[in-house]
A and B are shown apart, each in its own frame.
Chain A
Amino acid sequence: MSILVDMNGIEKLFPGVHALKSVQFELREGEVHALMGENGAGKSTLMKILSGVYTKDGGSVQVMGKDVVFAGPREAQDAGVGIIHQELSLMNDLTVAQNIFIGREPRNFLGILDEALLNKNAKDIFRRMNVAMDVGSDVGTMTIAKQQMVEIAKALSYNSKILIMDEPTAALNDTEIQELFRIIDQLKADGVGIVYISHKMDEIKQISDRVTVMRDGEFVGVRDSKDTSIEDIISMMVGRDLELETEQKPDTSDNTTALEVKNLNRGKFVKDVSFSLKKGEILGFAGLMGAGRTEVARVIFGADRLESGEIYVDGDRKYIDTPSKAVEAGIGYLSEDRKHFGLVLGMDVRTNISLASIARFGSALGVLDEAKISKTATDFISKLDIRTPSEKQEVKLLSGGNQQKVVIAKWLLRDCDILIFDEPTRGVDVGAKSEIYKILRDLAASGKAIIVISSELPEILRLSHRIAVMCEGNLTGFLPANSSQEEIMRLATATMQSSNNKNNQISEMSS
């Protein structure tokens, strides 16, 4: 069995983040190699280096025995590395065959497109995959599963010997998954090596030959799948030194309920979600990517509309269908995507801080009291220790942690009693992280009711008084603050084993 890919000592630095630290990865001919790790462990970054999307900052990549440095995805493709992204990148209004050969269309001697040859070539690929496909129909009219087959065919059309699949089953139902696995087996038999990224443990056991686990940008280990239990893999994924991070976490929750939601529903990601939140409590929301945590937050905040369900604030039923109504009801939401949804990047710190409460700074005619805005902003800058040369600095020039503090300042100024923090420390460096944790604890101690959504289990465990776990749109359980990461992971993957039923014919939107 020859080695298709050999990556060693791979380093990748992003501004402020050491994303990959001396990572190794090996892929053999005819092997399905699962790549596992929590969100942010560095799996995607590693695969983007292999597929030429990113350039590495250190280490070596060998593809089929040759040292390679890919300047772009095209070069990787030419070297035989194909990638099937979680979000498919097909052109909906072109046919299957046109999509597969886009930019490489066969022409006849007059230089005119040879549509017949195009279709024939496409058919040949599907014959090799042993898949029935009408190569002349528009991609946009097909199911996600079929579209994925087209992506695979497209990758194979480059004679890829190496195929990277990023969460390929996320949007497939059981029959479709089995069909995908059949194709994977077929590709294996042809000697193709497959890198398989997935969160679903049972799939890993079923399809993969070996598993490489990553954590925090580092290589943890590689195992033969058949000799390794799911528990082992989970503990490799989460096993970090917890004792470093345990600090005193005073229970500040009192017994008044600030927020109660009953049977919230919206599409695939919010299914019958009910919970309540007390004043002074920090409720952590754990779950894997796409579990529906952000979606729950968005319906409570009115950013997306509820299909059904009830929301009570301080015991009163609230009908929230826009964010402005949520804010009136005292609910604030700090988005996971602060650059797109949290901040107006081109505007300055003071404007961003005042944006949600601007009426307070206007006269009856709407004329702004600029001095008061600046004063208020400066107060928050010192209170939250926002590092900025002045309140008039554009927020896009601040670091991630300081940007997050600006968003927090905006909501503190608005004085909401219920605050939902979605990934509050994403893209924030370690120092600023603990400052943000302190701010959250102080807020809880002052009587605010707080929800923290985080994909980092240590963060959830460190902050929360109580932990809600979601999986595939369901709230699968509540855990006390002193639970283990393993217990959370079990609930976060809970329905994957049990609810292998019905209606999964839906397109995935990563949360």
Chain B
Amino acid sequence: MNDTTINSSELGANSLVERAKRNQHRFWAFSGLIFLVIGFSLASPNFFQTSNIISILQATSVNGVLAIAATLVIITAGIDLSVGTLMTFCAVVAGVLLTNLGLPMYIGIPGALLAGFLAGALSGFFVAKLNIPPFIATLGMMLVYKGLSLAICGGRPIYFNDTEGFVDISTGSIIGHVFPAFPIPNGVLILFLVAILASFILTRTILGRFIFALGSNEEALRLSGVNTDRWKIVVYSLAGGICAIAGILLASRINSAQPAIGQGYELDAIAAVVIGGTSLSGGKGTMLGTIIGALIISVVANGLRILSVPQEWQIVVTGSIIILAVYADQLRRGKT
């Protein structure tokens, strides 16, 4: 009797150690972020200024939200390459509804979100029901949304000058209104709200449980009597809806829906996910990690710009960081 108690408390301690190990990647990613911030602060007095920090956060908001969408899909062992152009497509939908049709925001914005959900559901349908590999299905849809956006706009941007308050969605500051010392833009606030919500879904709901189970062992989940096809479609739909949020944030920040941008964003999003420690083979990942990953990318871009490093080299550095982050993860896993 006594033996077992001692034993189990020991094992309890072990599982604590294990939990710390499991969170190690986030710890290292977070340390990396702090390291970068300190480094840039020492290198340039202009870096650690409120206005610069806010602009880093603002720059993170769109990619961060997209990365959250990508994280959900990647944990299921899928991939979504269409997040960037779907984001643009949803912005264009918002433009059509608000500017071209002159509808009010309370219709235009839910409309854009709905478009995102439905588009995601379509990708999910291709993946789950037609058994098209996620990479291919979303690669195809990436091009479809790009083409659709251009076709709808006739290649020209749609401006939101007539929609009062649209710009404030991203650039206004409710927080700054209450605490003038912290003029944190709404876009950043929305990023964190989406992250908290997504994190809650991931860790506290049935959907979240199934997202991890899909990525860890889809067949075991199916043989547990769970309708895995349906849940996959739900995941892709949710990711689509979150892309729409990113689309609205972006459109609001630049006061226009630019049909030609969007492609390439998916890679930044996936980079943030990977740097944040989510495994591309599925079953593992956290929203906090993804946010840290997105921040690292923005901090590097911003810091190097302040140090007047040419943009070409910024890209090289970002690429290297991705390799380094994943290699560090592999090293650690090899050791444990």
Interface locus among B79-87, B182-190, B203-211: B203-211
User: A365-421: which have CB < 8 Å to B?
Assistant: 365-368, 370, 389-390, 392-393, 410, 414
Using a CB–CB cutoff of 8 Å, the interface residues on chain A facing chain B are: 301, 303, 322-324, 326-328, 332-333, 335, 340-347, 351, 355-356, 358-359, 361-362, 365-368, 370, 389-390, 392-393, 410, 414
Task: Please report the C-alpha to C-alpha distance between residue A393 and residue B7 in the assembled complex, in whole angstroms.
Answer: 14
> Given the known A-B contacts A323-B223, A389-B15, are A365 and B216 also in contact in the complex, defined by CB atoms under 8 Å?
no
Q: Do A324 and B205 touch (CB < 8 A)?
A: no
> Given the known A-B contacts A327-B225, A335-B223, A414-B225, are A365 and B205 also in contact in the complex, defined by CB atoms under 8 Å?
yes
Task: Please report the C-alpha to C-alpha distance between residue A358 and residue B213 in the assembled complex, in whole angstroms.
Answer: 12
Give 6 CB contacts A-B under 8 Å: A303-B222, A322-B222, A344-B221, A356-B226, A389-B7, A390-B12
User: Which residues does chain A contribute within 8 Å of B217, judged by CB atoms?
Assistant: 340, 343-346
Instruction: Say whether B227 faces chain A, with CB atoms less than 8 Å apart.
Output: yes
- Closest residue on chain B to residue A334 by CB atoms: B223
Q: Do A324 and B220 touch (CB < 8 A)?
A: no
Which of A346, A359, A361 is close to B216, meaning CB atoms less than 8 Å apart?
A346
- 0 or 1 for each of B303-327: is its CB under 8 Å from A? (1 = yes): 0000000000000000000000000
- Closest residue on chain A to residue B284 by CB atoms: A346
User: Which residues does chain B contribute within 8 Å of A303, judged by CB atoms?
Assistant: 222-223
Q: Do A392 and B219 touch (CB < 8 A)?
A: no
Instruction: Say whether B224 faces chain A, with CB atoms less than 8 Å apart.
Output: yes
- Closest residue on chain B to residue A410 by CB atoms: B224
Instruction: Say whether B11 faces chain A, with CB atoms less than 8 Å apart.
Output: yes
User: Which residues does chain A contribute within 8 Å of B209, judged by CB atoms?
Assistant: 351, 355, 358, 368
Q: Do B8 and A326 touch (CB < 8 A)?
A: no
Using a CB–CB cutoff of 8 Å, the interface residues on chain B facing chain A are: 7-8, 11-12, 14-15, 204-207, 209-210, 212-213, 216-217, 219-227, 283-284
Which of B12, B204, B220, B227 is close to A344, meaning CB atoms less than 8 Å apart?
B220
Q: Do A389 and B223 touch (CB < 8 A)?
A: no
- Closest residue on chain B to residue A343 by CB atoms: B220
> Given the known A-B contacts A346-B216, A389-B11, are A368 and B206 also in contact in the complex, defined by CB atoms under 8 Å?
yes
User: Which residues does chain A contribute within 8 Å of B8, judged by CB atoms?
Assistant: 389-390
Main secondary structure of the interface of B (DSSP, over half): helix
A/B pair count, beta carbons within 8 Å: 90
Task: Please report the C-alpha to C-alpha distance between residue A368 and residue B200 in the assembled complex, in whole angstroms.
Answer: 10
Q: Do A326 and B212 touch (CB < 8 A)?
A: no
Which of A335, A359, A370 is close to B204, meaning CB atoms less than 8 Å apart?
A370
Which of B15, B212, B226, B284 is close to A392, meaning CB atoms less than 8 Å apart?
B15
Q: Do B223 and A345 touch (CB < 8 A)?
A: no
Q: Do A341 and B212 touch (CB < 8 A)?
A: no
User: Which residues does chain A contribute within 8 Å of B220, judged by CB atoms?
Assistant: 340-344, 355
Q: Do B223 and A367 touch (CB < 8 A)?
A: no
Task: Please report the C-alpha to C-alpha distance between residue A326 and residue B225 in the assembled complex, in whole angstroms.
Answer: 7
Q: Do A362 and B206 touch (CB < 8 A)?
A: yes
Task: Please report the C-alpha to C-alpha distance between residue A414 and residue B225 in the assembled complex, in whole angstroms.
Answer: 10
Report the minimal beta-carbon distance from B121 to chain A, rounded to whole angstroms: 17
Task: Please report the C-alpha to C-alpha distance between residue A476 and residue B222 in the assembled complex, in whole angstroms.
Answer: 31
Most chain-B CB neighbours within 10 Å: which of A332, A333, A358, A370? A358
Q: Do A356 and B224 touch (CB < 8 A)?
A: yes
Task: Please report the C-alpha to C-alpha distance between residue A48 and residue B92 in the assembled complex, in whole angstroms.
Answer: 63
User: Which residues does chain B contribute within 8 Å of A323, judged by CB atoms?
Assistant: 222-226
Report the minimal beta-carbon distance from B115 to chain A, rounded to whole angstroms: 24
Q: Do A368 and B227 touch (CB < 8 A)?
A: no
Q: Do A358 and B206 touch (CB < 8 A)?
A: yes
Q: Do A324 and B226 touch (CB < 8 A)?
A: yes
- A344-B212, A351-B209, A390-B15 given; 13 more Cβ-contact pairs under 8 Å: A323-B223, A323-B225, A323-B226, A324-B225, A324-B226, A326-B225, A344-B217, A355-B213, A361-B206, A362-B205, A366-B207, A390-B11, A410-B224
User: Which residues does chain B contribute within 8 Å of A370, judged by CB atoms?
Assistant: 204
Which of B206, B219, B225 is close to A328, meaning CB atoms less than 8 Å apart?
B225
User: Which residues does chain A contribute within 8 Å of B221, judged by CB atoms?
Assistant: 344, 355
User: Which residues does chain B contribute within 8 Å of A392, judged by CB atoms?
Assistant: 15
- Closest residue on chain B to residue A362 by CB atoms: B206
Shortest 9 CB-CB contacts between residues of A and residues of B:
A327-B225, A389-B11, A356-B224, A366-B206, A344-B217, A366-B205, A362-B206, A324-B227, A344-B216
Report the minimal beta-carbon distance from B87 to chain A, rounded to whole angstroms: 26
User: Which residues does chain A contribute within 8 Å of B284, judged by CB atoms?
Assistant: 346
Task: Please report the C-alpha to C-alpha distance between residue A365 and residue B206 in the assembled complex, in whole angstroms.
Answer: 9
Task: Please report the C-alpha to C-alpha distance between residue A323 and residue B283 in the assembled complex, in whole angstroms.
Answer: 22
User: Which residues does chain A contribute within 8 Å of B213, judged by CB atoms?
Assistant: 344, 347, 351, 355
Task: Please report the C-alpha to C-alpha distance between residue A346 and residue B214 in the assembled complex, in whole angstroms.
Answer: 12
- Closest residue on chain A to residue B13 by CB atoms: A389
User: Which residues does chain A contribute within 8 Å of B222, judged by CB atoms?
Assistant: 303, 322-323
User: Which residues does chain B contribute within 8 Å of A359, judged by CB atoms?
Assistant: 206
Task: Please report the C-alpha to C-alpha distance between residue A361 and residue B209 in the assembled complex, in whole angstroms.
Answer: 12
User: Which residues does chain A contribute within 8 Å of B205, judged by CB atoms?
Assistant: 362, 365-368
User: Which residues does chain A contribute within 8 Å of B210, judged by CB atoms?
Assistant: 358
